Structure 1
Amino acid sequence: MQKLDFAIIDAHIHQWDPYNTPHAAALAVKLLGKHPYLLDKVMRMVKPDDLIETLGLTNHVTSPYLPENYVQDLGHYQVEQVVHVEASWHKDKGKGVIGETRFIESLPFHAETVKLGGIVATADPRDSNFKKILQLHKKASSRFKGIRKMAAVHEDSKIHAWADEPHLYRNKKFLKGFEALAQYNLSFDAWVYSTQLSDMIALAKQFPETSIVLDHFGTPAGLFGQVGAQTGLTKIARENILIRWQEDIAELASCANVYTKMSGLLMPVLGHQFHKQNRLATKQEVYDLTLPLISHVLKNFGPYRVMFASNFPMDRVSTSLVNIIDAFSDAVLAYDPNALQQVFHHTAKQFYRL
């Protein structure tokens, strides 16, 4: 195991509190928060099956996840600063999204917990008030760095859709609004499933002056096992998912304005079954599963456009944060012994202007 002798930057965490903020599960949490078994049962009854399958378990989204919770997950690792990325704030229409930025600014990020370096908020470029919403985010926080608008919609209808149309990044209204990001010197976090990487490539080529980061390596759903109705069913199917992902990642990497986050690789939607086995993946299992992905991305993007990010608490359903940092740092070390500080610190600092 590589011992990191520097404080890292975590470029992608989520913070929420269903007890005290607008949240899809707020009512159920307030009624049943002291009865986790019943709360889980209710969530599984009222939420669609595809969402539950994507999350794996319900307790890590119905429980608050705040700075002190993140610090507990860190174990012995030191983090210089973190970037909060929007977490499906319930009031997601128009100017309602500003509430999440204000909420994040109100949290106890300080010397005893962890420093908040940046906020990636959400806004919809299709909104007629898009520019005004960007200005309001900036007014709400000096740490506002850019936006994320998720576009992840899979060809398999039983895999949860995180957008209201399958090719959001090609929508004409979206593209017109998107022009404002470069004008305001803001970055864009993109999240698609690997089947949509061609949409991401087209977006990056149309806006070469906008800094774009692909979240979670483009989430090749089903790569490690069956998800949805028909994704990742067989070994050959999984090999095809990998080959297509490899080719598209290589093409995306040719766009100099695109970076990517080494994150989200333990989400159940990739086909992991650890949560169904009532256990967490070991550090060695995390390493063995993710090494081919990390090596391919580093080969194509290079360490100067790859940044570490935990995606916590979303990946906590499959393994611990310590195991992820252990395994990912070993994978980077195996590729290039001199790339650790770049990937775990410098890239995020440069991209988000921290």
Structure 2
Amino acid sequence: MSHYLPVRPDWLASYTETAIDPDVAIVDSHHHVWDIPEWRYMFEDVLADMRAGHRVIASVFVQCYSMYRKDGPKELRCIGETEFANGVAAMSASGVYGDTRICDGIVGMANLTAGAEVERVLEAHVRAAGERFKGIRQITAYDDEPAIHNKKWGLAAGIAGDAGFRAGYRRLGRMGLSFDAYVFHTQLGELAGLARAEPETTLVLNHVGAPVGIGRFAGQREAVAKAWRAGIAELAACPNVFVKLGGMGMATVGFDFHQQAQPPSSDMLSAAWAPYMDYCIEKFGPGRCMFESNFPVDKGSCSYVVLWNAFKKIARRYTAAEQFQLFAGTAGAVYRLPSVAALSTTRVVAT
């Protein structure tokens, strides 16, 4: 099966909701921008989603193999993606398109297995985007299950324990950069080992640790959840680890909302996702958790408005100060976003 669900505008339009609590300030801590065969999600598309009803004040772009340089040294071609994202950020920062600061933080790609040599690539990223450049994501999600194995990533088992990878990873902390980690739930213990070994590097777990629900994991949701909870608890014991709450609309999670005649409501999404998100919040605390859209990937399961409505319904059981952390504060602190620094909970959380 495809690693991504197709976005079907007509299907998404068949069910709509009005944004609830529209004054709540949101930092979308994880989204992409790309133009790939049969799938365009560029600045105007991001803008349309982020201005559809919710108050998104800023966002973080995360690597997606987009707009690499056509030529030049192979290890530096990924700099093209950062240049591209920085151009999107510059358009947004002009104010011509409203107050949302799209791509206010940029997380790029570098091959950390290059060890100490990766510093040259990291420096090039910083030159390309300046203070907007916040860190690296090198996808490390690996499993030999055919339903989730993605050959494009070129991975082998145990990459987080590779000596070269760890040497490159260490450079991130020394340069004040973070690491975004996309792994499957089967790898959470391995990731905790990396976090313990390198406490000076901030690690941001993507997509609540990606509990898999397809392939050999289909029909095993309780067993998967048990293993996932153990891994989340182990990671939460590492104070340098943060977690993004989202990514559960992906095909790999196996909720299959995309197979319904109509898109799911926010009530349906919050009911399905809350057990995972609440557990992360319980273990990490709101100050180490942040909501993410993972758009356009999760757009195969729901619209942007419905997704954030679901998050807001999940967050209602927390205090105003805790909601501020979940929606804006944690992302603003981890990614050092100036647009968030001046906010206060009294301005950004609905009562």
TM range (shorter): 0.7 to 0.9
Summarize the Cα distance change of 1:278–1:151 in structure 2 as closer, same or farther, 3 Å threshold.
farther
Query: Which residue pairs with 2:35 in the alignment?
Result: 17
How many residue pairs get aligned? The number is: 304
Q: Which residue of 1 aligns with 2:264?
A: 281
Distance 1:131 1:118 in 2: 20
- State the Cα distance separating 1:157 from its structure 2 match: 3.0
Mapped contact 2:67–2:81 kept (Cα < 8 A):
no
In structure 1, the residue matched to 2:12 is: none
C-alpha displacement at 1:103, in angstroms?
A: 1.2
2:34 and 2:67 in contact (8 A); partners too: no
Q: Are residues 1:348 and 2:339 paired? A: no
Distance in 1 separating the partners of 2:177 and 2:248: 26
Note if 1:123 corresponds to 2:106. Answer: no
The aligned residue for residue 340 of structure 2 is none
Structure 1 counterpart SS, 2:201: coil
2:225 to 207, 218, 242: 242
Q: Which residue of 2 aligns with 1:208?
A: 199
Residue aligning to 1:29: none
**Once the two structures are superposed, what CA deviation does each residue of 1:265-309 show, in whole Å capped at 9, x if it has no partner?**
111110022323353221111011001111101100000000111
Partners in 1 of 2:154 and 2:285 — Cα distance? 30
Q: Is residue 216–residue 263 contact of structure 1 (8 Å, CA) maintained in 2?
A: yes
Q: Does 1:137 align with 2:128?
A: no
- Matched with 1:172 is 163
Q: Spell out, residue by residue over 1:214-244, the C-alpha distance to the aligned partner (whole angstroms, 9 max, x if none).
A: 000110010xxxx22x222x3xx21100111
Q: What residue ranges of structure 2 are gaps of 5+ in the alignment?
A: 1-18, 338-351
TM-score by length of 2: 0.82
Secondary structure of the 1:64 match is strand
The answer to whether 1:182 aligns with 2:173 is yes
CA distance in 2, matches of 1:252, 1:278: 38
2:8 corresponds to: none
Instruction: Specify the code of the residue in structure 1 equivalent to 2:277.
Output: I
* Letter matched to residue 193 of structure 2: A
SS of residue paired to 1:323? helix
Does the 8 A contact of 1:11 with 1:310 survive in 2? yes
- Is it true that 1:154 corresponds to 2:138 in the alignment? no
Are the equivalent residues in 2 in contact too, given 1:279–1:318 (CA < 8 A)? no
Q: Which residue of 2 aligns with 1:51?
A: none
Residue 141 (structure 1) shift: 0.5
1:1-354 equivalent positions in 2, closer than 5 A: 3-18=21-36, 25=37, 62-74=38-50, 75-89=52-66, 91=68, 93-107=74-88, 108-110=91-93, 111=95, 112-113=97-98, 114-115=100-101, 116-127=103-114, 129-142=117-130, 143-161=132-150, 162-222=153-213, 227-228=214-215, 230-232=216-218, 234=219, 237-277=220-260, 279-354=262-337
Change (3 A) 1:301 1:182: same
Q: CA RMSD in A?
A: 1.8
The alpha-carbon deviation at position 101 of structure 1 amounts to 0.6
Percent identity reads 34
The whole-number CA distance in structure 2 between the counterparts of 1:4 and 1:260 is 24
Q: Give the conservation status (yes or no) of the 8 Å contact 1:152–1:163.
A: no
Amino acid in the other structure paired with 1:127: A
Corresponding residue SS for 1:11:
strand
